[in-house]
Amino acid sequence: MDNKVKIAVIGGGASGMTAAITAARYGAEVTLFEKEERVGKKILATGNGKCNLGNLDFSMDQYYCRDKEKLEKVFRVFSVWDSISFFESMGLMVKNKNGYLYPYSEQASTVLDILRMELVRQQITVKTGIGIKAARCKNGEEVFELTDDAGENHSFQRVIVACGSPASLKKGQGMTGYCLAEGFGHRVGRLLPGLVQLQSDESFIRALGGVRCQAGVRLLVDGEEKAAECGELQFTDYGVSGIPIFQLSRIGAKALAEKKDVEVYVDFFPDQETKAYACMARLRFETQGDKNLEDYMTGLLNKKINMVIIKRLGLKPGMRAEEIGWEKIRELMQICRQFPIHISNTNSMENAQICAGGVDFAQVGTELESELVSGLYFTGELLDVDGKCGGYNLQWAFTSGYVAGRNAAGSSTREIASGSGYEEEKLKGSPIC
Ligand SMILES: Cc1cc2nc3c(=O)[nH]c(=O)nc-3n(C[C@H](O)[C@H](O)[C@H](O)COP(=O)(O)OP(=O)(O)OC[C@H]3O[C@@H](n4cnc5c(N)ncnc54)[C@H](O)[C@@H]3O)c2cc1C
């Protein structure tokens, strides 16, 4: 008689494939349902097609989750080092670029190919083009019945829900996972776009469209600074984008949803020490003061930024710096370091890389099993755990997939909960390139 545990994984993304592979490696008979014609579509878009699959600079600070203690316990079971080993076990060479991890090929398709090959190697039944629209648990029998889009029923002993989120999908798509979870009595928290562009209603914003520059960016909510980032800022026709904006966007999205006032303050000279900058500004006035403002600003910032700043202070490009006087010029130089932009909205979920919110993490255990229904597990972005830009979301997908897959297969991760981890010593002598 076949004693293998029969597991269904709903969703063939990063977390679902990891869960399926892990469960099969631990002896389960696994069927993976993917509603699209191919598994892992989102992986192909990650890291601008290069797939930033993890990050060695790892701590709970990179994650948003209401129970970081519990989250840390999950990561201790399967850390960034474990995911490197996991990929190496499937034949993928991993590259370390200043802590950011990529496939050696720098092609996201390689990561997907490796996962797909392992699905075959582990003899997992992959049913593509089949979406699961309903799931229920027969009372007391430990049997889950899944109904697919065609109305066909499938029975399993355990179910891992790995349906992802609506982020980057067309409006209305990507919601089934939450419906399945709610059907089992799980709470689903408010969904907000994360890692997304910010829109501004400032009249000058269109004039800056297309400008890219290194900048320090601070996010203020109701006048109070909440977070700061540094990196390449990109101006668009409607607002601001780029990695520092993505990193701040989650806090902005939450504040906007709560009807709070959101602003970003841009420092266009992030690498200039305050005193040295003040000296430079004074010297510039003494040596270049004979110029009109347009020429005076030339040599400092992008021309479009210069013009917006001049106009913002109510000045005209043709005015001579000396005539305006030092006090006003000082103001001009200061605003270059604290340039306020009012934020009116975020771009929509369709433009977001991730979705903040989801299935309440409080209702799953450290094994990622439902606390309401035994044998039911959740992984990845479907849960209300999300990370910053830099490989942290795929890391969560791999970690949660591994933990759910292993536990669903009946091999507890509890006993190894302190055996792994991301301690600093492990950074030394890393085998990766
Ligand atoms: C443009 C972009 C770039 C990104 N870049 C990075 C990056 O470089 N590094 C990083 O760490 N993260 C990145 N992310 C985020 C990362 O891709 C996701 O966090 C991660 O893929 C989530 O994995 P998941 O398995 O939870 O969900 P998904 O990958 O979304 O997988 C869910 C799967 O379930 C399927 N599905 C849904 N409902 C059903 C159903 N009812 N029945 C059957 N199948 C179903 C879906 O079709 C999908 O294939 C990026 C995201 C985007 C959009």
Query: Does one domain contain both 256 and 172?
Result: no
Domain of residue 255: give its range: 197-346
Reported as a pLDDT band with limits 50, 70 and 90, residue 431 is: very low
pLDDT value, residue 358: 97
Task: Report d(CA 304, CA 27) in Å as an integer.
Answer: 62
pLDDT value, residue 1: 55
Separation in Å, CA 158 to CA 28, 63, 413: 10, 28, 16
Residue 236 Cα, ligand 1 centroid: separation in angstroms? Answer: 26
pLDDT per position as a tens digit, 325-369 = 999 999 999 999 999 999 999 999 999 999 999 999 999 999 999
Task: Single out the residue of 150, 180, 144, 148 nearest to residue 162, CA to CA.
Answer: 180
Query: Does one domain contain both 164 and 245?
Result: no
269: tokens are: 């000279």
Task: Single out the residue of 132, 97, 68 nearest to residue 386, CA to CA.
Answer: 68
pLDDT per position as a tens digit, 88-121 = 999 999 999 999 999 999 999 999 999 999 999 9
Query: Does one domain contain both 259 and 150?
Result: no
pLDDT per position as a tens digit, 254-271 = 999 999 999 999 999 999
Query: Does one domain contain both 248 and 331?
Result: yes
The answer to whether residue 1 is domain-embedded is no
The answer to whether residue 433 is domain-embedded is no
Q: Whole-prediction pTM value?
A: 0.93
Number of domains in the chain: 2
Would the CB of 103 count as within 6 Å of ligand 1? no
Separation in Å, CA 318 to CA 221, 282, 291, 297, 331: 36, 21, 9, 11, 18
The radius of gyration of the chain's CA atoms, rounded to the nearest angstrom, is 25
Separation in Å, CA 268 to CA 21, 37, 39, 234, 327: 47, 46, 43, 12, 20
Q: Which atom of ligand 1 is nearest to the CA of 36?
A: 47
Amino acid at 403: V
Reported as a pLDDT band with limits 50, 70 and 90, residue 433 is: very low
pLDDT value, residue 394: 98
In this structure, the residue with its CA closest to atom 38 of ligand 1 is 163
Count of CB atoms situated within 10 Å of the CB of 72: 16
Query: Does one domain contain both 144 and 130?
Result: yes
Would the CB of 392 count as within 6 Å of ligand 1? yes
pLDDT per position as a tens digit, 383-414 = 999 999 999 999 999 999 999 999 999 965 54
Helix, strand, or coil here: 147?
A: strand
Contacts 24+ apart (CB under 8 A), 294-301: 294/318, 296/321, 296/329, 297/332, 300/336, 301/213, 301/268, 301/336
pLDDT value, residue 416: 37
Task: Report d(CA 427, CA 73) in Å as an integer.
Answer: 20
Would the CB of 33 count as within 6 Å of ligand 1? yes
Q: Determine the distance from the C-alpha atom of residue 180 to the mean position of all C-alpha atoms in its chain, rounded to a whole number.
A: 23
pLDDT value, residue 100: 97
Query: Does one domain contain both 296 and 400?
Result: no
Task: Classify residue 158 as exposed, middle or buried by CB count within 10 Å of its CB (0-12, 13-18, 19+).
Answer: buried
Q: What is the DSSP letter of 28?
A: -
Residue 403 Cα, ligand 1 centroid: separation in angstroms? Answer: 17
Would the CB of 254 count as within 6 Å of ligand 1? no
The average pLDDT across 163-176 equals 95
Query: Does one domain contain both 90 and 185?
Result: yes
Query: Does one domain contain both 217 and 161?
Result: no
Task: Single out the residue of 2, 97, 116, 18 nearest to residue 51, CA to CA.
Answer: 97
Among 309, 328, 346, which residue terminates a domain? 346
Q: Which helix (H) or strand (E) holds 263?
A: strand 262-267
The answer to whether residue 391 is domain-embedded is yes
Q: Which atom of ligand 1 is nearest to the CA of 379?
A: 26
Residue 336 Cα, ligand 1 centroid: separation in angstroms? Answer: 39
Task: Report d(CA 77, CA 369) in Å as an integer.
Answer: 15
Is 209 within 8 Å of 241 (Cβ atoms)? no
pLDDT value, residue 142: 76
- Location of structure tokens 């878009």: 45
Longest dimension (CA), the chain: 95
- The CA-to-CA distance between both ends of the chain, in Å, stands at 46
Would the CB of 388 count as within 6 Å of ligand 1? no
In this structure, the residue with its CA closest to atom 34 of ligand 1 is 11
Among 346, 373, 389, which residue terminates a domain? 346
Query: Residue 64 is part of a domain; what is its CATH number?
Result: 3.50.50.60
Residue 10 Cα, ligand 1 centroid: separation in angstroms? Answer: 13
Query: Does one domain contain both 224 and 331?
Result: yes
Q: Concatenate the DSSP letters of all residues of 294-348 into one string.
A: HHHHTTTS-HHHHHHHHHHTT--TTSBHHHH-HHHHHHHHHHTTSEEEEEEEE--
Task: Report d(CA 428, CA 414) in Å as an integer.
Answer: 27
Task: Report d(CA 97, CA 106) in Å as an integer.
Answer: 11
pLDDT value, residue 3: 84
Number of helices (H) and strands (E), helices first, in the chain?
Answer: 13, 21
Query: Does one domain contain both 278 and 320?
Result: yes
Residue 98 Cα, ligand 1 centroid: separation in angstroms? Answer: 25
Would the CB of 35 count as within 6 Å of ligand 1? yes
- Location of structure tokens 């849960």: 383
Please name the residue ranges forming H helices in 163-242.
176-183
Reported as a pLDDT band with limits 50, 70 and 90, residue 72 is: very high
Torsion angle defined by CA atoms of residues 190, 192, 194 and 197, in that order, rounded to the nearest 10 degrees? -170
The answer to whether residue 267 is domain-embedded is yes
The answer to whether residue 261 is domain-embedded is yes
In this structure, the residue with its CA closest to atom 29 of ligand 1 is 13
Q: Are strands 132-138 and 143-148 parallel, antiparallel or unpaired?
A: antiparallel
Residue 381 Cα, ligand 1 centroid: separation in angstroms? Answer: 7
Would the CB of 14 count as within 6 Å of ligand 1? yes
Q: Are strands 192-194 and 354-356 parallel, antiparallel or unpaired?
A: antiparallel
Helix, strand, or coil here: 390?
A: coil
Q: Which atom of ligand 1 is nearest to the CA of 386?
A: 19
Query: Does one domain contain both 97 and 226?
Result: no
Given a cut of 90, is residue 274 above it in pLDDT?
A: yes
108: tokens are: 């996201």
pLDDT per position as a tens digit, 26-67 = 999 999 999 999 999 999 999 999 999 999 999 999 999 999
Torsion angle defined by CA atoms of residues 223, 199, 42 and 93, in that order, rounded to the nearest 10 degrees? -60
Instruction: Please provide the average confidence, as pLDDT, over all residues in the chain.
Output: 94
Query: Does one domain contain both 285 and 179?
Result: no
Residue 386 Cα, ligand 1 centroid: separation in angstroms? Answer: 12
pLDDT per position as a tens digit, 312-327 = 999 999 999 999 999 9
Among 330, 346, 362, which residue terminates a domain? 346
In this structure, the residue with its CA closest to atom 9 of ligand 1 is 391
Residue 165 Cα, ligand 1 centroid: separation in angstroms? Answer: 7
The answer to whether residue 432 is domain-embedded is no
pLDDT value, residue 81: 97
